[in-house]
Amino acid sequence: MRDALRRMSTLLKWLLLAVFALMILFPVVLTVSNSFMAEQEIGRHYDALGADSTAARDHAAIRLIPERATLSQYNEILLKRPKFLLHFWNSAKLTLPIIVGQAVVGTLAGYAFAKLVFPGRDKLFFVYLLTMLMPFQVTLVPNYLVAQQLGLLKSYGAIVLPGIFASFGVFLMRQFMSGIPNGYLEAAKIDGAGHLRAFLHIVLPLVKPGIAALVLLSFVDNWNMVEQPLLFLTEPIRQPLSVYLAFIAEGARGVAFAASVLYMTPMVLIFLYGEEHLVEGIQMSGIKG
Amino acid sequence: MQRRKKALRWMIGLFFAILLVLTFLSSTIQGLSLPKVSVDKPKTGGLELTVSGEGFLQPAYTAQLYAKGDWTVVKILKNKNDRVKRGDPLLTFDTSSTQRTLEDEQARYDQQELQLAKLADQLKTMLWNDDTAGIDNQKRDIEAKRLDLQMQKRKIDDLKQQIADGGTLTSPVDGVVTAINASEGVAAGRGQPVVEIAADSSGYQFSVVADRNDASALRIGDKVSIQLEETPRRNIEGKISAIEDAAADARGAGAESGAEETNKKITFDVKEAKLQPGLKASVSITSTSHSFGMQIPKSALHQDNSGYYVFTVKEKDGPLGSAYYVSKTYLRIQDENKDTVVTDGMMPNEQFVTASSEPLGDGDRVRY
């Protein structure tokens, strides 16, 4: 009887989770499947949403199976519109330096906060935490002013530099490093290792999963950023893909799905690659990036 | 797990590699799909107007020779296109019919002479009889007969002259026989010339028909060089003697396209001794129009509701290197000839499209 009940509740949990999973996965599946539709077909299905009000429907028809599967969207976006590629590399140019910088700054600062003892360490860390907890919009204006003072407006530096020194990386690395027993470092010290040696040879290898998590979270965060480029980069041609994607849908619905698929592909691949670290990282930091 | 990771690593690498390759090739790929155009820069200056054509030399004046009587042609001494000198015999007639008339008239003269003798004898008789009234009368009769006799004498002289002169038809001028309307043994028809001779002294002329626009810079009296199709070819100098509308004869009743489209008939005079009628002559006159501007070939010119335009190429610096776009540039046409127009409305260093692999629209991106 109790067995049956337990099995029942497990089944219910499964069902509930399945429904949630479906709800979350559906847009992704829809995007992927619609990316193989021709422009005309997309027009027919979604015209009710667009400016063309001659369509008889007042709601979009959601279809998962293309009437005639075609690669025309990909052809259009990859071969005929090199602009897409340009924006893709813009995204890469923004994201890569931020990730690398954040990993370097995060590990070094994290080591200091976790393993060095200096006056006001915890208070300073608390301030760090505060900036992290504040929504991005709050720091936007100071960010802008600083960038202006530094003459970085309209350049990638205005986005990359604040990204590198974002407090999230420091916070995450400190959490990971706090988990390393102090005894390891004391043993190293006794053997004559300085801070640098201890950092490079003991701490870094131990927080590898943490760095992986940081890279993943930071990648997702920065690949998806919209506000900073919109604010700091005035030239449309320098905008990253995340911003361009919003405009691509305006003129040509036909390629928006393929563009979205290509946009999320690196994220999905990298997520799958570092899946276990990501989960660990999220658990460790207690927040989602 | 390790295999999965390896596969994912490969996929990530492949994804970025493909995008990298596509980016590298993007300009190339896009370039291939663009319409290819050829461009040119307009030449500045007046329009070159060329009038060219050929025609056959026609004598400006033709001497028409008629037979002096209803005679039969005995012998034709010259052929068509023969060059003759003044006084050269052309053909001979059988004048026997006129000879007979002459003999008749001679006989009539003799008769009248006899009658006159008779009247003189009668007068002598009257003087004898002293018939005063009859004498005066007789004297008048004799005087009248004498006048008759004189008239008859002149008639005979005329006929003699006619036989002497007309028996052989001679050329009155230096020139070339252009027509012989006679054959041996057949009576020469009256009312039409037996022989026509083109006189050298009058010169020759020929006409060509040219487009009105092309001919606009020509003036009567302009000296031009005319090439003659002789062997060897040679050029002689000629003169424009007339420029007239050619619409009436060239197009006839079909000239509905308006008076503006009429062609011009240009006549050239050539004066030289050794010319033949019917000789082919050609002329090519190049002149420059009075209008000044950009020269655009008509093949590059398009037309729509707003007028004439050409596609000009503009270079824009794009994210992936410079790109070329065409745009409509409307032109005001000042002047035109067969294949070119002179316009303003363009910059001298602007490039226009002369040919395109696909139909173009305003703002299209092209390659060249």
3-class SS of residue A65: coil
CA distance A44 to A54: 11
SS3 of chain B: helix, strand, coil, percent, to 5: 35, 40, 30
Confidence (pLDDT) at B319: 63
Average pLDDT over residues B69-86: 81
B316 contact residues in A (CB cutoff 8 A): none
Tokens of B173: 């001028």
Q: Are residues B136 and B118 in the same domain?
A: yes
Q: What is the mean pLDDT of residues A130-158?
A: 87
The pLDDT of residue B2: 81
Q: For tokens 């082919």, what's the residue?
A: B280
Confidence class of residue A91 from pLDDT cuts 50, 70 and 90? very high
**What would the mean pLDDT of B99-103 be, rounded to a whole number?**
87
Q: Quick check: is B218 in a domain?
A: yes
B222 plus B323 within the same structural domain = no
What CATH number is attached to the domain comprising B282? 2.40.30.170
DSSP annotation of A75: H
> Phi and psi of B292, rounded to 5°?
-135, 130
Tally C-beta pairs within 8 A across A and B: 43
Q: Can you give the C-alpha Rg of chain B in angstroms?
A: 44
Mean pLDDT value of segment B307-326: 79
B14 falls within a domain: no
pLDDT single digits (tens) B135-175: 888 888 888 888 988 998 998 898 888 887 777 888 888 88
Residue A37 neighbours by CB under 8 Å, 6+ apart? A45, A63, A66, A67, A69, A70, A73, A257
How far apart (Å, rounded) are the C-alpha atoms in residues A173 and A102? Answer: 10
Same domain, residue pair B86 and B155: yes
Q: Taking a contact as any Cβ pair under 8 Å apart, which residues of chain A between 84 and 123 contact chain B?
A: 85-86, 88-89
| Closest residue of chain A to B27, computed from CA coordinates | A82
Residue A71 has a pLDDT of 87
- A272 touches B: beta carbon within 8 Å: yes
Asked if A265 reaches chain B (Cβ–Cβ under 8 Å), the answer is yes
Confidence tier at A54 by pLDDT (50, 70, 90): low
**pLDDT at A10 (0 to 100):** 93
Strand-pair category, B264-270 with B302-304: unpaired
**Across chain A, which distance is largest between two alpha carbons, in Å?**
81
Q: What rounded mean pLDDT belongs to chain B?
A: 80
Q: Where are the beta strands (DSSP E) in B231-279?
A: 234-245, 264-270
A85–B15 CB contact, under 8 Å: no
Mean pLDDT in chain A?
Answer: 85
Is residue B237 located within the same domain as residue B298? Answer: no
Beta carbons of B22 and A78 less than 8 Å apart: yes
**Does B17 reside within a domain?**
no
Chain B residues whose beta carbon lies within 8 Å of the beta carbon of residue A78: 22
Contact B202, B176 (CB under 8 A): no
Residue at which a domain ends, from B154, B178, B196: B196
Is any Cβ of chain B less than 8 angstroms from the Cβ of A273? yes
Stretch A167-187: mean pLDDT: 88
Return all residues near B131 (Cβ < 8 A) that are at least 6 apart: none
Chain B positions in Cβ-Cβ contact with residue A272 (cut-off 8 Å): 8
The proportion of chain A whose per-residue pLDDT surpasses 70, expressed as a percent, equals: 91
Contact predicate A259/A84, CB 8 Å: yes
Task: Report d(CA B37, CA B364) in Å as an integer.
Answer: 11
Shared-domain flag, residues B155 and B249: no
In this structure, is residue B94 part of a structural domain?
yes
DSSP symbol at B298: G
Total domains, chain B:
3
d(CA B191, CA B3): 119
* Confidence band, pLDDT 50/70/90 cuts, at residue A101: very high
Residue B231: inside a domain: yes
Q: Report CB contact under 8 Å: A86, B23.
A: yes
In this structure, are B302 and B271 located in the same domain?
no
Per-residue pLDDT at B79: 81
Residue A57 clears pLDDT 60, i.e. is over it: no
Query: How many other CB atoms are found less than 10 A from the CB of residue B83?
Result: 16
Which of A79, A89, A273 is opposite residue B9, by nearest beta carbon? A273
Q: Which of B22, B27, B32, B364 to mutate to test the interface with A (most CBs of A within 10 A)?
A: B22
Same-domain pairing of B283 and B303: no
> Residue A105: what pLDDT?
94
Q: Which residues contact A282 (CB under 8 A, 6 or more apart)?
A: A213, A217, A288, A289
Q: Do B23 and A272 touch (CB under 8 A)?
A: no
- Domain edge (last residue) among B288, B304, B338: B288
Q: Is the pLDDT of residue A77 over 70?
A: yes
Q: B276 and B209 in one domain? A: yes
Tell me the pairing of strands B340-344 and B48-56: unpaired
Looking at residue A223, what is its pLDDT? 92
**Complex ipTM, two decimals?**
0.80
- Closest in A80, A83, A265 to B33, CB measured: A80
Q: How far apart are CA B53 and CA B267, in angstroms?
A: 11
Burial of B22 (0-12, 13-18, 19+ CB in 10 A): middle
At B253 the pLDDT is 43
- Is residue B26, in this structure, part of any structural domain at all? no
Angle at B124 between CA B122 and CA B130, to 5 degrees: 105
Contact B23 A80 (CB under 8 A): no
Closest Cα in chain A to B19: A85
Test the A interface: residue of B24, B26, B364 with most A CBs within 10 Å: B26
- Determine the average pLDDT of the residues in B52-67: 80
Taking CB atoms and an 8 Å limit, are A79 and B319 in contact across chains?
Answer: no
Q: Which two tokens stand for residue A102?
A: 């954040």
Distance CA B111, CA B113 (A): 5
Is residue B38 a contact partner of residue B353, using CB atoms and an 8 Å limit? yes
Q: Which residues does chain A have within 8 Å of residue B30's beta carbon, measured at their own beta carbons?
A: 79-80, 82
Q: What is the mean pLDDT of the segment spanning B6-10?
A: 90
B207 shares its domain with B301: no
Cβ within 8 Å, pair B26-A85: yes
Name the residue of chain B whose CA is nearest to A266's CA: B12
Which of the residue ranges A12-21, B59-68, B269-278 would you say has the lowest mean pLDDT?
A: B269-278
Structure tokens belonging to residue A156: 């990638």
> CA B337 to CA B51: how far, in whole Å?
10
Q: State the pLDDT at residue A58.
A: 62
Tell me, yes or no, whether B38 lies in a domain: yes
Mutual angle of helices A275-285 and A208-223, in 10-degree steps? 90
Q: Which of B14, B23, B28, B317 to mutate to test the interface with A (most CBs of A within 10 A)?
A: B23
Contact call for residues B326 and B364 (beta carbons, < 8 A): yes
Helix H or strand E segment including A40: helix A39-46
**Interface test mutation site (partner B, options A76, A78, A216, max chain B beta carbons within 10 A):** A78
Q: What is the pLDDT of residue B120?
A: 86
Any B CB within 8 A of A209 CB: no
**φ/ψ of residue A276, rounded to 5:** -65, -35
pLDDT higher at B285 or A54: B285
Contact A94, A226 (CB under 8 A): no
Task: Using the structure block, give the residue that is written with the tokens 């003044």.
Answer: B86
- pLDDT score at B250: 47
Mark whether B183 and B106 lie in a shared domain: yes
Which of A61-75, B40-54, B148-162, B165-179 has the highest mean predicted lDDT (pLDDT)? B148-162
- How far apart CA A104 and CA B123 sit, in angstroms, is 169
Residues of the domain holding B243: 50-60+202-288
Closest CB to A265 among B5, B15, B29: B15
Give the pLDDT score at A170. Answer: 92
- pLDDT exceeds cutoff 50 at B255: no
Half-sphere exposure of B11 (CA within 13 A, CB side): 15
Model confidence band, residue A227 (pLDDT cutoffs 50, 70, 90):
confident
**Cβ within 8 Å, pair B16-A266:** yes
Q: Is residue B329 part of a domain?
A: yes
Q: Which of B288, B309, B334 is the last residue of a domain?
A: B288
B191 and B90 housed in the same domain: yes
Nearest Cβ partner of A272 from B8, B16, B22?
B8
Pick from B9, B12, B26: CB nearest A266: B12
At B247 the pLDDT is 59
CA distances from B273 to A204, B59, B83 (A): 114, 12, 11
Are A273 and B15 in contact (CB < 8 Å)?
no
- The pLDDT confidence band at residue A55, using thresholds 50, 70 and 90, is very low
Average pLDDT over residues A7-13: 93
Question: Taking CB atoms and an 8 Å limit, are B15 and A89 in contact across chains?
Answer: no
Average of pLDDT values for A11-40?
91
Residues of B in contact with A88 (CB under 8 A): 19, 23
B180 and B296 fall within a common domain: no
Using CA coordinates, name the residue in chain B closest to A82.
B26
> Mind listing the pLDDT tens digit for each residue in B337-355?
767 777 777 777 788 888 8
DSSP-assigned states of every residue in B299-366: GG-EEETTEEEEEEEEEEEETTEEEEEEEEEEEEEEEE-SSEEEEESS-TT-EEEEEESS---TT-EE
Decide if A82 and B320 are in contact by the 8 Å CB cutoff. Answer: yes
Rounded CA Rg of chain A: 24
